[in-house]
Structure 1
């Protein structure tokens, strides 16, 4: 272990291999943007590009903040394609998401260096139980995350996880007033095992993880809104070669932003956010998300 790491981090040597699972873009909870669970007419195609920058300056283990200046930056992009169609009288949207980007250690963790590459491919398809013309929307989405991303068991900053994941998510959107809309999203993630985990090639298993998300959107102008979001993630405790790690997740975050159709078929969304509390892993000091959506 490099001497530049803080003493407590050196004593918690097993934490470093877990950085790969905590920090890879596909390992993060499946955040959605407000409005994502709006059913669109069959035949609609969307192309989306995401740019996300996050800065972290605190590291936690089992609820305790580790001493030192433990920083990490991430710059992640996502390419996403969505196609809406009608199957059996219901709107369905097969889609893919491909993350890519760079992770870089800072301050006491600068010894980790940096790494860039492609993350794990995500395949999904929402099934809606309403018509696009309805004001209230409800859908269920199964996600399958494939172990296709860049992974090196000796590199805690790998962007892939070397394991399968399955996520079942549901979303609900309803108007509160003429201008105010409520979004509610919940999901559970089930993890496959990584049998080549850490320098010793151990077996990593993880318990299911749950996430709850909510948004309030206020229509400021036609085609434009302001939004406030909150998210809570819990569960996901890991076990390495049968030994529990006591690393259950419990985190809350908040974000604020807005969205606007700069053209009838082009939408820009900007959100700023940060973690409010973290039990395990890095605490985000700031996050900037920019999304470009094009309707075809």
Structure 2
């Protein structure tokens, strides 16, 4: 018979096994925008960028209560993004593809390819008003080994397709301020090759995840801008091996953003985010991304 302390450790291990799998997936597949991403690009532009990211998780929460089980999870990513202006009739549009490489606590490999397309039904450069609609598709093309899902899932790939639909509004305020708001919903395919806390391969399922976000930026000059952001997730309950649904997301995060133009066609950006309220899942202690982009 398991002692009281032993029982709590078993339960804690089970929760972290689930959360380590799902929190990384939730954050990766929620459509996380940077300030000014909602501005339609100029006609004919093409772009390529390299993004380097680092994320760390150090605490687990259940129903808003911090769990005693120790957590230490680190993720590093490098992603190549290539995109091009694609008009949709007379409307501005943009399409891009992300090709990531992921290192998750010593297990590294190719991540899942992500495709995105956006169209702006309304784009007014003079007033700085842009209303856009975007679709996202993550394909299970990365490295995946079911053995790496025993306990904590440390696979570069999610081994499932993910789709998301987003709509957003960008509005220039006064001369230099810019407000951006967006909402999206993500849906997930099942992963039929998953261990988790079980010794038998089963199915990992996740319900739809709803996210909304807002960002306020300030253009100090034509070459330099800063911003702050707020992000909120809800939904996304999970289950494995046909068990009960659990772990509803009700999480909040804030961020700081800096972008500088090195030339008329090259920019660098730094984004730092941190969780401020976690109801279920792993608390994101640090989320840092550096991106350098070149436009043609």
- TM-score w.r.t. the length of structure 2 is 0.89
Q: Secondary structure at the match of 1:244?
A: coil
Cα separation, 1, equivalents of 2:254 and 2:67: 23
Alpha-carbon contact 2:116-2:136 (below 8 Å) kept: yes
1:267: Cα distance to partner? 0.7
- 2:103 is matched with which residue? 102
Match of 1:164 among 152, 161, 164: 161
Alpha-carbon contact 2:34-2:257 (below 8 Å) kept: no
Bigger shift: 150-159 or 203-212?
Answer: 150-159
- 2:3 is matched with which residue? none
- 2:191 is matched with which residue? 194
1:1-296 matched pairs, under 5 angstroms: 8-15=8-15, 16-24=17-25, 27-104=28-105, 114-131=106-123, 133-134=125-126, 135-155=128-148, 156-198=153-195, 199-296=199-296
Taking a change above 3 Å as real, the CA distance of residues 225 and 200 of structure 1, as seen in their structure-2 partners, is same
Cα separation, 1, equivalents of 2:71 and 2:85: 43
Taking a change above 3 Å as real, the CA distance of residues 237 and 176 of structure 1, as seen in their structure-2 partners, is same
Taking a change above 3 Å as real, the CA distance of residues 172 and 97 of structure 1, as seen in their structure-2 partners, is same
RMSD (CA atoms) = 2.0
Instruction: Show structure 1 runs of 5+ residues with no match.
Output: 1-5, 105-113
Cα separation, 2, equivalents of 1:28 and 1:44: 26
Aligned residues: 282
Alpha-carbon contact 1:24-1:158 (below 8 Å) kept: no
Taking a change above 3 Å as real, the CA distance of residues 195 and 53 of structure 1, as seen in their structure-2 partners, is same
Bigger shift: 282-291 or 229-238?
Answer: 282-291
Bigger shift: 272-281 or 25-34?
Answer: 25-34
Cα separation, 2, equivalents of 1:250 and 1:54: 19
Alpha-carbon contact 1:171-1:184 (below 8 Å) kept: yes
Cα separation, 1, equivalents of 2:28 and 2:53: 15
Bigger shift: 226-235 or 215-224?
Answer: 215-224
Taking a change above 3 Å as real, the CA distance of residues 137 and 230 of structure 1, as seen in their structure-2 partners, is same
1:101: Cα distance to partner? 2.0
- 1:109 is matched with which residue? none
- TM-score w.r.t. the length of structure 1 is 0.89
Cα separation, 1, equivalents of 2:216 and 2:182: 12
Taking a change above 3 Å as real, the CA distance of residues 20 and 26 of structure 1, as seen in their structure-2 partners, is same
Q: Secondary structure at the match of 2:92?
A: strand
Taking a change above 3 Å as real, the CA distance of residues 163 and 91 of structure 1, as seen in their structure-2 partners, is same
Taking a change above 3 Å as real, the CA distance of residues 68 and 18 of structure 1, as seen in their structure-2 partners, is closer
* Structure with greater proportional helix content: 2
Taking a change above 3 Å as real, the CA distance of residues 277 and 19 of structure 1, as seen in their structure-2 partners, is same
1:132: Cα distance to partner? 6.5
Bigger shift: 227-236 or 143-152?
Answer: 143-152
1:64: Cα distance to partner? 2.8
1:241: Cα distance to partner? 3.3
Alpha-carbon contact 2:36-2:178 (below 8 Å) kept: no
Cα separation, 2, equivalents of 1:168 and 1:157: 27
